Amino acid sequence: MQPDEARAEGRTLTPRGWHAAVASLCAVRVAIPLAVLAASGHRIPTLPPYDYNPLPGDAHGYYSAAREFMASWGRLGAPGLLLVAAALAIVAACVGRSWRRRPALRPWLVVVAAAAFSLAVALVITKMSSHTGAPVFGWPLLWSLPMLPYRAVGLPLDPDGAFVFGLLLLLVAEAVAVVATWQIGLRATGKRSVALLAAGLYAVWPFLSGALSGDHGGMNGSWFADSGLCGCTEPVSTAAVAGALVLLLAVAPGPSALAAAGVLLGFSTAVKLSNVLVVALALVLLAQRVGPRRTLPFLGGALAFVPIVAAWWSRGYGALRHERHVFPSHPFTWGHVVPNWTDSLFFSSRAVLALVPLILVGAVVLRRRWEATLLGLVIVVNALFYSFYAGTNIHPRFLLVALPAALVLWATGLAALSSGLLRPALDRARARGGTSRPSPP
């Protein structure tokens, strides 16, 4: 940010004012699905009609996996439970003690804590049934965490109750994504106004997506997956990746920040396997920026959740790939590319014209090349991967993980275009005004 721009923004709002604005945007994002839920059976103008269903579509499989995971703790037996609890307690004590006494080890303590948790979860996964219908386990794991103590004290849990727990978690993820979009914009551009615009766009995206895609944008549950009402993985995946991008976009990310970014991306891979591409991309770019040795905490954090991914594979995609009514026989082919973009439920010509040109402008004019490269390639890698995947046209939610990055570049492009068009006119107006004033005595 240039000094005059910084002073201008400083006069606009105080730091407390900016934070209040971001908090208001979080409230807006959360209020939209809550309003739709409250109006169940009655359509809100510009939004798709919604009829309450606690477990629509894929949510039933994720719920079954969460229930099975909670039940499987008891299958360890009393000795097994005590052993796991003791091991986790020892790790927690050692991490807490070393965190205070040996600050240099903090990046690796983050990795050790995440890996210990992951190994305990992987052990319980081995006690679960072979098939629940959930392709991945990151979201069922997160969903089960608040429900586990609820069940542990003997309280009953039905789909309606599980929906409440899941919705609360997904709404938190939506709010986290709003804040992360604000921080990504702030760190990438240095301009609070651009960052707030990007966060605002994310906050009202449920309205914008409908306006851009038209009536068919709400088909196949796409809108409800984005808003958190159908119990799917996308809000959690988006929030985890966006949080990692915030850490990676620091001016000089330290080892602990890199380890935390790796942990977030590692967990996001357990939530959505294709996020491994973001991990690989970030690893390559970080190696070029800070050197291979300094990327090791990031790599360690990213690998911490491999035990969960590996333990679940035979119960997730490994089991579903044989069910042709669920999983396509040829999931990746060149033949999917054109239909995925020409027959998309979201990417109409109106959506493409509204989004793509300004995103490209933003990527070009963004002065900070590391930030522009990271955000741009997150979008490109995600779009390329799902271009070849069967069903992307009817599941545009697969692309939502890149939405915060796309909105930041879009806001950057709009700001640059507005500045380029308006500033010359303002300068000319100031010049004319200056010549018309009498000279001071």
| DSSP letters for 64-101 | HHHHHHHHHTGGGHHHHHHHHHHHHHHHHHHHHHHHHH
As a whole number of angstroms, the distance between CA 440 and CA 326 comes to: 80
Q: Where are the domains of the chain?
A: 30-326
Q: Is the pLDDT of residue 9 over 60?
A: no
**Span of 104-113, 221-230, 262-271 with lowest mean pLDDT:** 221-230
**Span of 144-158, 191-205, 251-265 with lowest mean pLDDT:** 144-158
| Cβ partners under 8 Å of residue 249, min gap 6 | 183, 184, 187, 188, 371, 374
Give the model confidence (pLDDT) of 83-135 as tens digits. Answer: 999 999 999 999 999 999 999 999 999 999 999 999 999 999 999 987 788 89
Structure tokens belonging to residue 373: 């490269």
- Inter-CA distances, 7 with 1, 18, 45, Å: 10, 14, 41
Q: What percent of the chain is helix, strand and coil (3-state, nearest 5)?
A: 75, 0, 25
Looking at residue 2, its pLDDT comes to 47
User: Residues 415, 191: contact at Cβ < 8 Å?
Assistant: yes
| Cβ partners under 8 Å of residue 151, min gap 6 | 70, 157
Looking at residue 432, its pLDDT comes to 66
What is the helix (H) or strand (E) element at residue 270, kind and residue range? helix 255-271
As a whole number of angstroms, the distance between CA 165 and CA 162 comes to: 5
Is the whole-model pTM more than 0.75? yes
User: What is the average pLDDT across 68-83?
Assistant: 92
Give the model confidence (pLDDT) of 161-204 as tens digits. Answer: 999 999 999 999 999 999 999 999 999 999 999 999 999 999 99
DSSP code, position 153 = T
